[in-house]
Amino acid sequence: MSLIPEQDEQERPGRSRVATAAVTIGGFVLLLWVIELVDTVTGHRLDSFGIRPWNPSGLSGILFAPLLHLGWGHLIANTGPLLVLGFVILLSGVGAWLRVTAVVWLVGGIGTWLTGGPGSLHLGASGLVFGWIVYLVLRGVFTRSVLQIALGVVILLAYGAVLWGVFPGQTGISWQGHLFGAIGGGLAARLEKPRQDSPEVWPPTRTNQ
């Protein structure tokens, strides 16, 4: 027998999911800021761990590049989209966010290493931003969820303009990272399927037990 009122008992899962999403994405972005602080203090030595295309020693950059930035301006530009998009994905659960991020991270990194110009250095979390945008835009198409399709439209209206960054032409911008991050997001949307133990859309339908 529970002493907690039934209404509070029903609302707790929703509040917990929102809190978990906020804490998780906040912690991830905080980690990026701490890493940039360390990079600044050490004379930007960490930047050397970015992706160096076609260089075997640059393969490690596939793992580290999204955690590194070329200065505070670069990090600040990515912070807002990371917080918003990451939070929205995390509302579907930490597991879903980890799976999507892993696909975007690896596809974006490998694609950049294979197609980037020799002698170039690629780093930054913008590949994740592009991947998360495309994932959210396409997720509803594959899950056939009306609410997720509507959410995808909102995301497209809010962030769709940045997708022009997948095309070459801007000096100092890794269009390869953007392009393959976006491809990774599309692949993640195709692979991610609704699970019977989790709600298809957010918020979940409340039921009495």
pLDDT band at 12 (very low <50, low <70, confident <90, very high): low
| CATH number for the segment(s) 14-191 | 1.20.1540.10
pLDDT tens digits for range 106-149:
999 999 999 998 889 999 999 999 999 999 999 999 988 899 99
Please state, in angstroms and as integers, the Cα–Cα distance from residue 166 to each residue in 121, 156, 161, 171, 191, following that order: 17, 15, 11, 13, 22
Single-letter amino acid, residue 185: G
Contact 198, 144 (CB under 8 A): no
What are the residue boundaries of the structural domains of the chain, listed by start?
14-191
Record the pTM.
Answer: 0.84
**Omega prior to 56 cis, within 30 of 0:** no
